[in-house]
Structure formats: C-alpha cells, structure tokens
Structure 1
Amino acid sequence: MNSSTTGVFNEMKTAVPTTHFGGGYAVTVGLGTPKKDFSLLFDTGSDLTWTQCEPCSGGCFPQNDEKFDPTKSTTYKNLSCSTEPCKSIGKESPQGCSSSNTCLYGVQYGSGYTIGFLATETLTITPSDVFENFVIGCGERNDGRFHGAAGLLGLGRSPIALPSQTSSTYKNLFSYCLPASSSSTGHLSFGGGVSQAAKFTPITTKIPELYGLDVSGISVGGRKLLIDPSVFRTSGTIIDSGTTLTFLPSTAHSALSSAFQEMMTNYTLTNGTSGLQPCYDFSKNANDNIPLPQISIFFEGGVEVDIDDSGILISVNGGLEEVCLAFIDNGNDKDLAIFGNLQQKTYEVVYDVAKGMVGFAPSGC
C-alpha cells in the first residue's frame, strides 16, 4: 500500500478546537433543540456518542457543563428495541428493553461505564454542520474518570460511531492533532483533503472493531531495537485517542527500557511505580535542559513516527522526583498493544476509514 497520498490539510470541511481533559482530549458540540453545548472526550477506541442525562436516577459523575435534559429538547426521541441501532449496540455491549420497549444500553470502559437509553437527537458540530436523528446514548447511570467532561464522542468503526453516521457528509475521513503542551489548542477535523506530508499505514483486518495497525519496530537514539516482528504480530496493536500511555508487549518494552536506560546513565534512577520503568529523579536537574534520546515507532508501509519529547516521559505526581518512561509493559506478549495519545502529539493523525488507512503528518499543530 502507498505510504503517501495527495492533497493539503488547509481546506478542512470542518475543524473544531480540542481541549485537554485529564489524560484525554475533548471537543465542544451541540445537542438538542434548542442546542446546548457539551464538552465530550473524543475516543477512537469506542463507538457510542453519549452524554449524562437528567434526572441521573442511577447516579452521575461530576461534569463542568449542565447535564443534558431530554425533556427540554424538541428533537429528542428514544429508540425502540426493534431498531437497527439497538441491535447494533447489542452486539457490542449488554443491552435490553424497558417495560415500554425502549432500548437500553450499557458500555464498560477501562476508566468507567455508562448505562442509559439509546435515542436519536440533533448533533451540531458547527453551525453549518448539523445532523438530525443522530444516534446517541442518554446516560442515566454513569461513573468513572472523565475529568469534568460530559461524556464521549465515539469515533470508532461500528455503524453507530460518528464516522459512519456522518459518512454522507464527511466521507469517513477525520483527523486530529494533539499539541505538545496541554495549555495549547489542537483540533479535531472532519472531511476535506489529506496532506502530502502524511504517510499512511493500512488498518488491519485482524481487529475489525478497532483501528488496528501493524507495528514493525522501535528505535531509540537512531538505533533499531532487536525485536522480532512476530512480537507485535502476536499481540496486535491499536491506535487510540482515548488512551494516554502506549502499552507494549513485554519483550518490546524490555528492549525499549534497556536501550533508554543505556542512554540516560547520567541521571538518577528510582525504583519505578505503577508498572512504569525506568523512572528518574530529576529534582537536582530542575534548571537543566535534559537531552532525551529520540524514540521512533515504525509501522507497516515504511511509516516512521518520531515521538515528540512531550510524549517520551511522564511525571507520576506532577513533580520531578518520579519521572518515568511513558510506555507501559503489558505484562506479557499476548495482550493487545495500544499506541496512546501521549505518543501521538504534534502529528496530524489522519483516519481515512473509507480507504482503510491511518496516516501521520508531522508538525500538524
């Protein structure tokens, strides 16, 4: 498959700014008629777009916006259990019917869950991009670490995910850029052309419900690590905007950790924490410009992603006493590997779902 394509990312059909929320990123969209704005975390690892709904009879987590009240929208409509969206989400998560034949859904995440009513509502992305009868989840029992956001914007691959629901307008094409600093603004864009600078790798068919990519190797300081490619093929890898850190098979993480330590021998190692290794105490280097070895991830098709310095290390408690390599050991070589959002920073990450490709263009924001 070609590793590049033509076009320029300067004529996006729709672009909305992103905001940093904890370990994820959110955009503000409108729901209902009259429109009410909500900050939703955008997540390529999940499908359903949902928000917390009044009366929150089962309990809700704290959020910055007022909760959505379906009784105050003239376009809100619960879906029955016989509808295709209800059958679709039933294949992916537990769902059932209320006594009035209203479709109920339940979705579990690594950091929480949502349970509620499946419905259609008007979704407003920009004043000119309005989608009627958009399938959403109206969550009445929700919990988890959502950092003040009002719910999720599902950018996954199923029929109820946003790319599929808006395909007639956006042609199953979207992209985002996450800035190096959480105080800066990135963007989430839909439709439009693709940058000549973007190099593409195929979306694998081995993980049909997620955006699976084939990793072919890792380099540290310009040196390719001696990792058998079968290590990555065994576990499989997905790219996920909703996961912060990158999860690696044990064999790959061990090689990366060892090579990184070899190039950081001038700094004080600590015991590490929460599965993160190696970790350093930089408290005595507060005024130093610490040169970090370049870490690069290679994907099928000759695609090389050079990790920005902001995605190489992470502070455990916000200070300099425990700063760790921002890659987690899966604990084995069989569990799914994840290319997280911290390592995607500064790239325009392009999801050309119609063509089955994910691309990376440097200096995207």
Structure 2
Amino acid sequence: MEGSFLRVLNRARLFLSLHILMICFMHKGYPYGVEGKITSHTTSVSSLLPSSCLPSTSKASTRKSTLEVIHKRGPCSPLAQDPNPLNHTEILLRDESRVKWIQSQSSNGSDGLKASAAVSLPAKAGFMAQDYVVTIGLGTPTKHLTLEIDTGSPLTWTQCKPCKSCYPQSEPIFNPSRSLSYANISCHSTSCPHFGTSECAGSTCLYHILYGDQSSSAGFFATEKLTITPTEVINNFKFGCGENNGGFTGGSAGLIGLSNDKISIVEQTAAKYGKYFSYCLPSSTSSRGHLTFGKDDRAVSSVRFTPLSMVSSQFYGIRILGITLGGKRLPIPSTVFSGRAAVIDSGTTITLLPPTAYSALRTAFRNKMAKYKMAPALTPFDTCYDFSKESKITVPSIIFSFAGGVDVDLDPNGIFYSEKASQVCLAFVANRADSDLVIYGNVQQKTFEVVYDVAGRKLGFGPNGCS
C-alpha cells in the first residue's frame, strides 16, 4: 500500500516537473505571474541606446509589396545628416505641438474627432511626421524619393521643380517635365477634390495643405506612376507635386499619407490591396522595420485584432480598457477609459494617458524600479533613471488591454525614451485632463506588426514583427 502511494506521488512530481519545464520552454524564460501574465523583462542597457546601423531582421523582407522603414535621424537613414539636427528637447516640443493639434480637433475630448469641413483635404492636417521614412519610386524613368510616413495625414506629396520655394532635401527634387507618366489633373475632373484652400490655375487642379505648425505644401494635384517595389507599380497615382513648401526639416522629400481618406494611398490602392496595410517600427534608431501593403496570411496567424473605429477620415480610433504592470492590473477606475476616444498615431512619439491612469502607472513603475538610481527629469518626462553603471536591467512588464480581448505586452524599447545611458525615461506623459483624447504613440508600437484592416474595421498587433 505504501509502495503504491509512493509510486503515485513520484508520478505526480514527475508530471509537475515536466509541466514546469514545458512552461519555461514555451515562454522563453520570462518570469510569469500566477495568472500566466509576464511580470518582467530583462534587457541589456545597450539595446535601449543608439548604435551603428544593424542589418534587417524584418519578417516581411520577402513580401512583394514591402518598403523598408527607417528612423529618419538614425544611422541607417538614407537622408543626409542634418548639419543642425534637432536636439531631444526640440523633438519632444514638436511632438507636444502635434499632440495639441490632434487634441484640438477632438469634440469635447471624449466623443471622437470632428470631421473636417473640407470634403477630402482639411485646411490643416496635423504636423509633418517626425520619425520614420520609406523610399518609393516615382515617375518614368523611376526616381527614388524618401518620404515620411503618417497615419494621420491623407495626402501623399513631394517637392517638385520648378521650385518657387522649397526646403533643403537630401535627394534631387522631382522634375515632372522629365517623366513620361506625369499628368496634371483637370480642375473640372471628379478626381480634383474640394481642398480646404484650393483654387485652379486655368483648368489645372491645385492643392494647398497647411499643417498645424504652419509648415505647408502647395502645388499641382497630379497623377504619376508610383513604384513600391519593382513588381508592385501603381499607375495614375494621385499626389501633390509641391512647388511651394516650407517649414520642414530633416531632408525628406515629402510625405506618404496613410489615413482613411479617398485621396490617401490606402483608398487609392483599395482594389489592389483591399484597404489593408501593416508596419513594424524598429526597436531603435539603429534598426530597420517595414511597411507592407496588402494581406499576408503567413503574418496574420500571430496577430490579435481589436475593433478599429474611424473617428474621422484622418485618424484611426481604438479602445483601451486598462493597463497591467508587473502582472497586476493597475487600479484605474473603469470610467477613466470607458467612453473615452483614443487614436493610434504613427507620427506622435509618446503615448498620452489620462492623468489618473498615468499616476497609477508611474507609482507602480517607480515601486518596481526602486533599486535603480533615478536621474533628473527630461521634459516632458518625470520618471528617469541612470543606468550608466548597469549592463542589464529588469523592467516590469507593461501590458495594454484593448477591446476584443487583445493584450499587448510592450517591448522594453516601447517602455523607455532614451536620451543617454544616464537618462533613460518612462515613455509616457499625462494629459491635462482625464477627458482629453488619448493618443497611442509610436514608441509603444515598436517591434509589433501593427495591422490596419481598414475595410474590416480591425486593428491588429502581432509580436516580434521586427527587432
């Protein structure tokens, strides 16, 4: 009898041991809490800091409709180095200005964004995106141009000759007179939309787009051959050929608009790509990501989808339900997020949270990071650390819960904004009031395959889309 009991006990111990080993194997050694949630990540300090340009590890490199995404100011950038680059303070101030403009478009801060008075192109369209660029081909023969990507802008445009007023850019300015496929759009054509401040030059359609920071682009609204890859070509693509442009920095040739608007690339390629695109923003300025048009079934298997709302033709809306830190749900009243509009934006750097939510996040984060030396604040961040004496750090996990049962466990690079090893800051900022529009910024999106199924009204997150 005793022998039988011992055999059963030993089998139970063996089963438990195998079960624990299986969990450790499946979860790659990450510490897990009692509810199965990851509680922390251990990462090297060097991975949070810029380095030399790293080779691409993007899972989308073999997709036929994929562009490489590069940080505009990083060592991989195809743009010439700006002799007078913006410092971190200036970059963050520009980001703050973009946030203020987006929130100024909100209706009471909680009912979504007001639709623009213009039919297709608002008189003001946010700010020039600051961070990420792709290189496309335009014209016949093809000229390669590096454009900033922005999910909050509708129009794709580039600077064009003859320039009446153009800012410095790294590549030669596009010359439409040397392209066999360029054509102006007639002012009387249905393809000439009603712009916020439009007029015609004779019978030729013009555009004028003014951004919230008073930068602007104006010129001819035209069609051209757009080359995404050698095998992916969009004929008669409508774009802005700007001869009067100002207020931009960084050397890019213009912007590619990814918002849900009839003149955006998303709508113009709907027949080909089904209003479906995805991107992966790299973990650091030294890494590479991708922007892909169209659905790839191989990439969708690991993607979890949350409902996507169109709070206007310019912004993509999402619903945040709560935040978990270190395996424990933060004590944020459900009313703080419920009924509040939130948008996901590729051009805003930092995530803006309701003050009540940010306060809970900051308190819990500081408690978990108490063993590390704090550093002076870096405006607008108030929780910074000195990791100059550390080679590795253990960071509490931060998980965002979205509608539809989608939990997004942020990459460590999506938790911090790094000025230098001696000043690494928690990359979240509080709004002025709980009622202000929440903006889910690009730092928190790093390394995820972020999928926009615009036709299906779904937004997806897939882990490890790039590194």
Answer whether TM exceeds 0.5 for this pair: yes
Tell me how far 1:277 sits from its aligned partner: 2.1
Distance in 2 separating the partners of 1:111 and 1:253: 31
The counterpart of 1:294, out of the listed 383, 393, 397, is: 397
The counterpart of 2:169, out of the listed 63, 70, 73, is: 63
1:258–1:80: structure 2 CA closer, same or farther, 3 Å change rule?
A: farther
The structure in which a higher percent of residues are helix is 2
Tell me how far 1:36 sits from its aligned partner: 0.2
Q: Letter of the aligned partner of 2:393 in structure 1?
A: I
1:84–1:338: structure 2 CA closer, same or farther, 3 Å change rule?
A: farther
Tell me how far 1:82 sits from its aligned partner: 3.4
1:216-267 deviation digits (Å, cap 9, x = unpaired): 1111112211223332345411112222221222222222122211112223
Is 2:457 the counterpart of 1:356? yes
Q: Which residue matches 2:42? A: none
In the TM superposition, what are the counterparts of 1:265-276 in structure 2 within 5 Å?
A: 265-276=370-381
The structure in which a higher percent of residues are strand is 1
The counterpart of 1:107, out of the listed 194, 201, 210, is: 210
In the TM superposition, what are the counterparts of 1:11-160 in structure 2 within 5 Å?
A: 12-22=63-73, 23-60=130-167, 62-88=168-194, 90=195, 93-98=196-201, 101-109=204-212, 112-160=215-263
In the TM superposition, what are the counterparts of 1:155-304 in structure 2 within 5 Å?
A: 155-194=258-297, 195-283=300-388, 285=389, 287-304=390-407
- SS across alignment from 2:193: helix
Q: Letter of the aligned partner of 2:182 in structure 1?
A: Y
- SS across alignment from 1:298: strand
Choose 30-39 or 116-125, whichever is displaced more: 116-125
Tell me how far 1:199 sits from its aligned partner: 0.5
In structure 1, runs of 5+ residues without a counterpart are: 1-7
Contact 1:80 1:103 in 2 (8 A): no
Distance in 2 separating the partners of 1:235 and 1:56: 44
In structure 2, runs of 5+ residues without a counterpart are: 1-58, 74-129
Over 6 Å off, 4+ runs:
8-11
Q: Which residue matches 2:114? A: none
Q: Letter of the aligned partner of 1:329 in structure 2?
A: A
1:269–1:146: structure 2 CA closer, same or farther, 3 Å change rule?
A: same
Contact 2:204 2:220 in 1 (8 A): no
Distance in 1 separating the partners of 2:368 and 2:393: 12
Q: Structure 2-normalised TM-score?
A: 0.70
Q: Letter of the aligned partner of 2:432 in structure 1?
A: G
Contact 1:105 1:118 in 2 (8 A): no
- SS across alignment from 1:290: strand
Contact 1:11 1:193 in 2 (8 A): no
Contact 2:451 2:460 in 1 (8 A): yes
Q: Letter of the aligned partner of 1:332 in structure 2?
A: A
Q: Which residue matches 2:415? A: 312
Distance in 2 separating the partners of 1:112 and 1:337: 25
Higher Cα radius of gyration:
2
Tell me how far 1:208 sits from its aligned partner: 4.7
- SS across alignment from 1:137: strand
1:231–1:146: structure 2 CA closer, same or farther, 3 Å change rule?
A: farther
1:290–1:124: structure 2 CA closer, same or farther, 3 Å change rule?
A: same
1:67–1:233: structure 2 CA closer, same or farther, 3 Å change rule?
A: farther
Distance in 2 separating the partners of 1:110 and 1:215: 29
- SS across alignment from 2:404: coil
Q: Which residue matches 1:330? A: 431
Tell me how far 1:146 sits from its aligned partner: 4.7
1:234–1:100: structure 2 CA closer, same or farther, 3 Å change rule?
A: same
